[in-house]
Amino acid sequence: MQIASLVNFRDTGGLPLIDGGRTRAGVLFRSAALNALTEEGLHDLAASPVGVIADFRTGVERGMAADRLPVSRPFEIVLLELLEGALPQPAVGADGAVAPEAFATVLSQLPTLGELYVRMLQHGAETFAKLARLIAASRDDAPTAVLVHCTAGKDRTGVAVALMLDAAGVEREAIIADYAVSQQHLAGPWADGMIAMLTSMGVPITAGLRTLVTETPPEAIEQALAWVDAEHGGSAGYLASGGLGADDLAALRHRIRA
């Protein structure tokens, strides 16, 4: 299934499970923000099994690029704000401009992607558990599939989807590959536009910043999953630490596994 004009969109169905079989199609989708959907894209989304939009963006991000949604049928919008993964906002002066030294300070404090993901995990267990419950509650007899997104659909969305797939028993190599392919999906106009926007603001584009904004190196999600393994014995244990009960975990696995 495709949704016209929706960047970094894909169904997580068809991934191999550790004990054999594949993940179920039409249950969990992922993408970048829906702010640039065309009329064709709106029609495609309305015709899809998606009924729940889980948005990890902050209020500032949503205000800058509000999602476009079809009006032909209702969608449940669930705000799961995560600060980690949002672009840092340097202080703005009285004239509305950002001083060069402010950029220098922000850039000097940028973490690696792997470090960012670990920080996200340290503070986000309850938020990720809420997403798991949304997926667990989806059904086949109504458009209740979950589409999860942030801005690029690579960091907050990437960690979230990796957790869901890992808890369901997807092969680790397949989880890493699903995360990493976002870089290909974002390459070109989307990535170029983000870099151009930062350049127009006077932000010096370092290799580290380019990675944070546009790339998905496998080692980043590997670091995140290694932290989950070390601290919680795996994603199921991590989600339980955020309040996901055994029944909801079983329902999550049932929904994702074909």
- Please count the other Cβ atoms lying within 10 Å of the Cβ belonging to residue 115: 14
Every domain of the chain and the residues it spans: 10-256
pLDDT tier, 169 (very low <50, low <70, confident <90, very high otherwise): very high
The confidence score (pLDDT) of residue 89 equals: 54
Report the sign of the C-alpha dihedral through residues 118, 76, 243, 255, in that order: negative
Enclosing H/E stretch for 252: helix 246-256
Q: Is the CB of residue 215 less than 8 Å from the CB of residue 108?
A: no
Q: Exposed/middle/buried for 233, CB within 10 Å: 0-12, 13-18, 19+? A: exposed
pLDDT tier, 109 (very low <50, low <70, confident <90, very high otherwise): confident
Does position 70 have pLDDT exceeding 90, yes or no? yes
Count of CA atoms in the C-beta half-sphere (13 A) of 83:
5
Mean pLDDT along residues 58-72 = 96
- Residue in 120, 164, 124, 166 with CA at minimum distance from that of residue 146: 164
Superfamily of domain 10-256: Protein tyrosine phosphatase superfamily (3.90.190.10)
Place of tokens 């959907």: 37
Does position 104 have pLDDT exceeding 80, yes or no? no
The confidence score (pLDDT) of residue 99 equals: 57
The confidence score (pLDDT) of residue 98 equals: 54
Does position 103 have pLDDT exceeding 80, yes or no? no
The confidence score (pLDDT) of residue 155 equals: 97
Residues 7-52: tens digit of each pLDDT: 999 999 999 999 999 999 999 999 999 999 999 999 999 999 999 9
| Residue partners of 17: CB distance under 8 A and separation at least 6 | 23, 168, 169, 170, 171, 257
Does position 207 have pLDDT exceeding 80, yes or no? yes
Place of tokens 């904004």: 213
Please give the model's pTM, rounded to 2 decimal places: 0.94
3-state secondary structure of 167: helix
Mean pLDDT along residues 164-190 = 98
Mean pLDDT of the chain: 93
Strands 50-55 and 76-79: parallel
The confidence score (pLDDT) of residue 86 equals: 74
The confidence score (pLDDT) of residue 170 equals: 98
Does position 91 have pLDDT exceeding 80, yes or no? no
Q: CA-based angle 53:57:62, to the nearest 5?
A: 90
The confidence score (pLDDT) of residue 244 equals: 98
